[in-house]
Structure 1
Amino acid sequence: MIDVILPELPERELALRSEETPQPSGPRLAGRVVLGGPVALPVTADLVGPDPELLDFLRTEADNAVYHLVHLSVTCARDAPDPALHSVNLDIGLTAEPVRRGTAVFQPVAWSMTPRQLTAEVTSSAPAAHLGPRLGFQDGGDTAFGERVCLEARRELRSDPGWEIRHTSAVRIGGTYRLAMVVRAPRGAVSRAAVAVGATVREGHTLHRFREELEEPLRLAALQ
């Protein structure tokens, strides 16, 4: 196992558009959500070198696939005025295009994600993530029966992964959530990660939905 230091991320405050009234003049949800990143780093032999098993795994994959570490964060205001955030979703669309025209490539997938689940309030940013066998994140203990999950990774091993942050009776959404995934992508291709952030607020029994998609997908640099 190796420790991967989570980098500092450039941040942008989002003004999410209403999904009910999506016109430019429609209502927006501003001052509630800040997105950090995304930032991508290639998984290289130098990175995994201290762990012989990880190095062997990377070598066995070298003819067909490359791996990337993608880092993001979502910061949600703790003291925002009502209505409070009911949920926040971060959705990623992974795509790949061959460098040489006519070459078939497979679609990238979220090979592993962290955190998989959180059941307690966020108090601080984790300084490192732990990569274990086969480039899988080591998250620690499992969720106990009956605990309310406030953050959950979704759709691992697919091209449309993401995380959902949920308001629960025990935990209100707020603070900074550090997120990371290992992406398995085809060698000899240009892969990209499109990022969108959605949120809901509850007014009475009605949920209002907001969303924003980043204009430029993150390019995952192809390794030669």
Structure 2
Amino acid sequence: MPELSLPPLDQQPITLVPEPLDVRGPGDPAPGELAGRLFLGGPLAVPLTGGADGFAYRLTHLALTVIADDDAPFESVTLGVELTCDAGEAIAWSMAPDRVTDTAQLTDRFRFGPQLSLLGVEASLGSVERTRVRQGTELLVEALRPLRADPAWVIRRGRHTPAAGAYRFVMVVRSPAGGTVRTGITVTARVRRRRLFGYRTSEPVMVDLL
């Protein structure tokens, strides 16, 4: 199974606006825009060998950097992708990572399995020191809605782990051969400032996959 490394991606700041309905108490001021804490990289698409079945496959890279703030921590951040194609339906054929727990390690490498599925690659024991100090696991990152046109990844805050850091995401997009695929990228977030406030991108970031 061939292994791939993730290319560098230029990242742009993403500003989120408050959602219309927030859970807040009487007298709490309405939150303003959320800027300077989220940076989006990609999407960058690389065509893959395929087409014999009438479909084209694109290896699509995304990055999201989440900046921590102890006074207003993220409870969750969701990176959503809306796939459209002018020749039919485009779907997220495979997504990685599919799950990250508090005892797992994020990696900058992935491996192809059968039928262009994406598999995680464990870091070698000689290059990474592993420490396990607590029992049980928490689900921190999860891929949502694979094999659909509206895939997403959700990053969650854990009991001991902030929802902050640099994240890399990869998916194989399948579409009818010869079609042009467009991605609409959205980011939503839940931020705790005494109470929980919701934020979202005002409009999707639209990018065509070549």
Which of 84, 90, 101 in structure 1 is aligned with 2:79?
Answer: 90
Is the 2:107–2:120 contact (alpha carbons within 8 Å) kept by the matching residues of 1? no
> How does 1:14-33 map onto structure 2 within 5 Å?
14-20=14-20, 27-33=32-38
Task: Verify: 1:130 aligned to 2:90, yes or no.
Answer: no
Distance in 2 (CA, whole Å) between partners of 1:30 and 1:81 is 16
- Structure with greater helix share of residues: 1
Q: Which residue of 1 aligns with 2:98?
A: 116
- Structure 2 CA distance for partners of 1:140 and 1:39, relative to 1, 3 Å: closer
What is the Cα deviation at residue 62 of structure 1?
2.1
**Could you report, residue by residue, the CA deviation over 1:134-179 in whole angstroms, capped at 9, with x for unpaired residues?**
11111268xxx95210100000011000100001112111210110
Is the 2:17–2:202 contact (alpha carbons within 8 Å) kept by the matching residues of 1? no
Q: Which residue of 2 aligns with 1:164?
A: 154
Distance in 2 (CA, whole Å) between partners of 1:168 and 1:215 is 28
Is the 2:103–2:137 contact (alpha carbons within 8 Å) kept by the matching residues of 1? no
Task: Verify: 1:210 aligned to 2:195, yes or no.
Answer: no
Taking structure 1 as the reference length, the TM-score comes to 0.77
Q: Displaced runs of 4+ in structure 1, greater than 3 A?
A: 213-216
Distance in 1 (CA, whole Å) between partners of 2:150 and 2:34 is 24
Percent pairwise identity: 35
Number of aligned residues: 191
Distance in 1 (CA, whole Å) between partners of 2:205 and 2:166 is 23
For structure 1, list consecutive stretches of 5 or more residues without a partner in the other structure. Answer: 45-57, 99-104
Distance in 2 (CA, whole Å) between partners of 1:63 and 1:134 is 11
Give secondary structure in 2 for the equivalent of 1:180. strand
What is the Cα deviation at residue 77 of structure 1?
1.2
Distance in 1 (CA, whole Å) between partners of 2:59 and 2:144 is 17
> How does 1:8-157 map onto structure 2 within 5 Å?
8-20=8-20, 27-44=32-49, 58=50, 61-78=51-68, 80-98=69-87, 105=88, 107-120=89-102, 126-139=107-120, 146-157=136-147
